[in-house]
Amino acid sequence: RPPPATEDPSSPSPPDQALMEMLRRFDLAWEYGPCTGITRLQRWERAQALGLSPPGPVRDALLEHQDNP
């Protein structure tokens, strides 16, 4: 029986499936404008500046996981 895996506290934890699905839906939502050549956070901020009301939980997740592309 293998020993229990120990997690490296310096490595980012993988986002859960619900989070990945939320980000995928944001990526595919054309109402927030094109996503080519910019980060998700830049796209979210641009949509907000244009008054498009992008989902707040997307921004929260992007800020929380900045170290995980």
Name the residue range of residue 59's domain. Answer: 15-65
Could you tell me if residue 32 is inside a domain? Answer: yes
Could you tell me if residue 10 is inside a domain? Answer: no
Rounded Cα distance, 44 and 32, in Å = 7
Could you tell me if residue 6 is inside a domain? Answer: no
* Helix axes of 40-49 and 56-64: crossing angle, nearest 10 degrees: 150
**Amino acid present at 54:** P
Could you tell me if residue 2 is inside a domain? Answer: no
59 SS3 class: helix
Please, is 54 exposed, middle or buried when counting C-beta atoms within 10 Å of its C-beta (0-12, 13-18, 19+)?
buried
Could you tell me if residue 42 is inside a domain? Answer: yes
Could you tell me if residue 9 is inside a domain? Answer: no
Could you tell me if residue 52 is inside a domain? Answer: yes
The pTM for the full model equals 0.74
pLDDT tier, 8 (very low <50, low <70, confident <90, very high otherwise): low
pLDDT greater than 90 at residue 14: no
Question: What average pLDDT does the structure give for the chain?
Answer: 86
Please, is 47 exposed, middle or buried when counting C-beta atoms within 10 Å of its C-beta (0-12, 13-18, 19+)?
buried
What integer pLDDT is reported at residue 67 of this predicted model?
84
Number of domains in the chain: 1
Could you tell me if residue 44 is inside a domain? Answer: yes
